[in-house]
Amino acid sequence: MKYGALIIFVVLTSLTAHPQSFREIGIFGGASYYKGDLNPKKHFPGAHTHFAFGAIWRENLNKRWAVKASYMRGRISGVDANFPENPLQIDRNLSFFSTIHEFSGTLEFNFFEFNPFAPTSFFQSADKITPYAFIGIGVFRFNPQARLGNNVYDLHDHSTEQQDYNRTALAIPYGAGFKFRISQRILMSFEYGLRLTFTDYIDDVSTRYPPNPDLLTETGIDLSNRSLRKSGPNGTNWGTQRGDSQSNDWYHFAGFTLSVNITKNPNACHFNQDKYF
C-alpha cells in the first residue's frame, strides 16, 4: 500500500513540477499486423503486414508527461498456409482478413525532458529529443472475412464455431517510441505499439469445430471446415479442436506521427513596437 502511495505521489509531483504545457494535432502513417491462431509467432509477417493510418491529439502536460487521444485504422490478415513447419496449421487450411478501427487514450512518459520551443537563452537546454513509453485503453471494431471461390464472406454471420461473439472489444495499447522536434511548430515521432485484446475472435478462430454441422448453412460448413485431412474419431473434424482458446488475439501498429504544435511559445517576446510608436 505504501509503495502505491509513493508511486502516485511521484507521478503527481512530476505532473505539477513544470506547469508549461502545449497541444499537438497530427497524422499517423505506418503498418499494422496481427498475431493469433493464424499467425502464432511472426512479427511483421511479410505480405500480411499492411498499411495503417490515423490521427492524434496530444496534450503535453509538462516536459515529462503527455496524454494522447487517437484514431487508428489498419488492415490485418492471416493464412495457415504460411506455416509449413506446423502440420496442424497446414491441415486446418484457414485464412482471414479484417479492418481494425481503433479509438484509444494513452498516457506517455518521456525519459528525457521534451520541449517543442527553442531555448531563449544560452543557459537553457534544447530538450528536443527523447525516447518515451506509453500505456492506455482503447476500443476497436473488427470484422473477420474470408474468400471462398470468387466471393467474400463475413465469417461472424456464418457462425463457423457456433459462437455469437461481439465484433467490438476492448484493448490495452502499450509500447515505446522516439520523438523529436523539427521546429517549434513541427514535431515527429516513431512508435511501436502492441494491443492486448479481450477477444479471441479477431481471426474467427478460438475453440472447436461445431459438433453438429447440420445447424450450419452450406456456406457456413464450407467456411468452418476447410481442412485438408480429416482427423476426428468419426472420420471428420466436427467437434474437434479448431483453435487455441487459452490465449487472446493481438494486433500491432508501428509507424510515424507528424504533428503540429498549436500552442504559442510562452517564452517568446510578443512586444509589438508598432503599437507604441
Distance of CA 54 to the CA centre of its chain: 11
Q: Which amino acid is at 6?
A: L
Other beta carbons less than 10 A from residue 173's beta carbon: 25
Supply the pLDDT for residue 263.
Answer: 85
Supply the pLDDT for residue 230.
Answer: 79
Residues 6 or more apart from 82 whose CB is under 8 A from it? Answer: 39, 42, 45, 46, 48
Mean pLDDT on 208-216: 92
CA distances from 84 to 79, 90, 93, 155 (A): 11, 6, 11, 24
pLDDT digits (tens, 9 = 90+) for 155-204: 999 999 999 999 999 999 999 999 999 988 899 999 999 999 999 999 99
The fold of the 19-264 domain, in CATH, is Porin (2.40.160)
Q: Is-contact 53 27, C-beta < 8 A? A: yes
Examine the pLDDT at 15 and tell me if it is beyond 50.
no
Q: What residue spans define the domains of the chain?
A: 19-264
Examine the pLDDT at 42 and tell me if it is beyond 90.
yes
Record the cell numbers describing residue 129, joined without a space. Answer: 529529443
pLDDT digits (tens, 9 = 90+) for 52-96: 999 999 999 999 999 999 999 999 999 999 999 999 999 999 999
Full 3-state SS string of 22-71: EEEEEEEEEEEEEEECCECCCCCCHHHCEEEEEEEEEEECCCCEEEEEEE
Alpha helices in the chain (DSSP H): 2-17, 87-92, 218-224
Mean pLDDT on 35-42: 95
Other beta carbons less than 10 A from residue 28's beta carbon: 22
